[in-house]
């Protein structure tokens, strides 16, 4: 089954404790992206990757890191989480051919930082 | 940061009625316009991606139109059903980067039986 998976789905952590949210897709998509969803703000792009070893900042990259060592995986790293990073996070992937970038979303990770 | 506006923010419609809502974007930055449907406790799913002025796309009872010159897109739902209840998101891929999607805040649609 074609899908984007994220782990963990739910996480409660404390300020300053490094964490990684994994994202994996099995559709051989070149493009992957991370978004956060906050009430009243819509989905905001954190980072995106056009292919292996190619990443770039989205609109809200502060406090986050990403890496793309393999085509299928795009982990999101919070080196020192803070309460303002409490949010619902979505990973997405798409083909980059045709330039449409129709996004396939993962199930979401709900993160709470206390 | 580009501004993508959706209206209304929420909408209640009787089952069987038809409805529509709007996505507005800066026309000078247009590259592609996406519509997604997001049901509660699920993840957003793509409905349409439109790239050409005058594009009209249809999927079952849902259709969308695009006017890139004036910077808006309409999403129509004909004969609303309870399963249409969801938040509908639009997103702009701009000429600065089609892969850098900017989402609107969404229109939350509730269908009353």
Q: In the prediction, which pLDDT does A99 show? A: 58
- Can you tell me the distance from the alpha carbon of B67 to that of B26, in angstroms, rounded to the nearest whole number? 11
Contact at 8 Å (CB) between B28 and B94?
no
Would an 8 Å CB–CB cutoff place B3 in contact with chain A?
no
Q: What is the average pLDDT across B24-45?
A: 91
In the predicted structure, residue B108 carries a pLDDT above the cut 70 = yes
- Structure token digits, residue B66: 């695009």
Give per-residue pLDDT as tens, A21-55: 999 999 999 999 999 999 888 899 999 998 999 99
As given in the structure block, the two tokens for residue A40 are: 């009243």
Kindly identify which residue of chain B lies nearest to residue A6, measuring between CA atoms: B43
Q: B19 with B7: CB under 8 angstroms?
A: no
Least reliable range by pLDDT among A3-7, A70-74, A95-99: A95-99
What's chain A's average pLDDT? Answer: 94
Contacts of B89 in chain A (CB under 8 A): 42-43
Task: Choose between B28 and A48: higher pLDDT.
Answer: A48
- Exposed (0-12), middle (13-18) or buried (19+): which is B66, by Cβ within 10 Å? buried
Reply yes or no on whether the pLDDT at B96 is more than 90.
no
Task: List the beta bridge partners of residue A113.
Answer: A13
Distance of residue B108 Cα from the nearest chain A Cα, in angstroms? 12
> Closest Cα of chain A to B89: distance in Å?
8
The residue written with tokens 């349409």 in the block is: B48
Query: Looking at beta carbons, which residues of chain B come within 8 Å of A106?
Result: 43
Contact call for B31 and A99, based on CB within 8 A: yes
Choose the closest CB to B98 out of A35, A101, A108: A101
For residue A40, the model assigns a pLDDT of 84
Find the mean pLDDT for residues A65-76.
Answer: 97
Residue of chain A with shortest Cα separation from B48: A102
Q: How far is A102 from chain B (nearest CA, A)?
A: 7
| Per-residue H/E/C for chain B | CCCCEEECCEEEEECCCCEEEEEECCHHHEEEEEEEEECCCCCCEEEEEECCCCCEEEECCEEEEEECCCCEEEEEECCCCHHHCEEEEEEEEECCEEEEEEECCCEEEEEEC
A65-66 vs A76-78, strand pairing mode: antiparallel
At residue B43 the predicted structure's pLDDT band, cuts being 50, 70 and 90, is very high
Enter the tokens of residue B34. Answer: 């996406």
Q: Does residue A16 come out as left (phi exceeding 0), alpha (psi in the -120 to 50 range) or beta?
A: left
What is the predicted pLDDT for the residue at B25? Answer: 94
Closest CB to A108 among B31, B43, B51: B43
Q: Where are the beta strands (DSSP E) in A8-108?
A: 10-13, 19-25, 31-38, 42-51, 54-57, 65-66, 76-78, 87-94, 104-105
Distance CA A72, CA B103 (A): 24
Q: Cβ of A103 and B36 within 8 Å?
A: yes
pLDDT for the residue A42: 85
Q: Which of B35, B103, B104, B105 to mutate to test the interface with A (most CBs of A within 10 A)?
A: B103
As a whole number of angstroms, the distance between CA A106 and CA A13 comes to: 21
| Residue % of chain B over a pLDDT of 90 | 76
The count of other CB atoms within 10 Å of the CB of residue B69 is 10
């Amino acid at each position: 089954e074609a899908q984007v998976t994220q782990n963990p789905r739910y996480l409660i952590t404390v300020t300053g404790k490094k964490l990684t949210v994994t994202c994996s897709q099995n559709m051989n998509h070149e493009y992957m992206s991370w978004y956060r969803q906050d009430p009243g703000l819509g989905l905001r792009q954190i980072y995106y990757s056009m292919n292996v070893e190619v990443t770039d900042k989205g609109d809200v990259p502060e406090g986050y890191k990403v890496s793309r060592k393999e085509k299928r995986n795009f982990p999101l790293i919070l080196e020192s989480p803070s309460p303002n990073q409490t949010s619902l996070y979505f990973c997405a992937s798409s083909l980059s051919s045709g330039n449409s970038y129709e996004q396939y979303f993962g199930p979401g990770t709900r993160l709470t930082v206390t | 940061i580009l501004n993508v506006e959706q209206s209304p923010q929420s909408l209640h419609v009787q089952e069987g009625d038809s409805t529509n809502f709007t996505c507005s974007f800066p026309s000078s930055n247009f590259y592609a316009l996406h519509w997604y449907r997001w049901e509660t406790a699920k993840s957003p799913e793509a409905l349409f991606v439109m790239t050409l002025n005058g594009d009209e796309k249809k999927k079952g009872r849902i259709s969308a139109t695009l006017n890139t010159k004036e910077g808006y897109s309409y999403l129509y739902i004909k004969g609303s059903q309870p399963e249409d209840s969801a938040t509908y998101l639009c997103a702009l891929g701009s000429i600065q980067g089609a892969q850098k999607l900017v989402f609107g805040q969404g229109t939350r649609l509730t269908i009353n039986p």
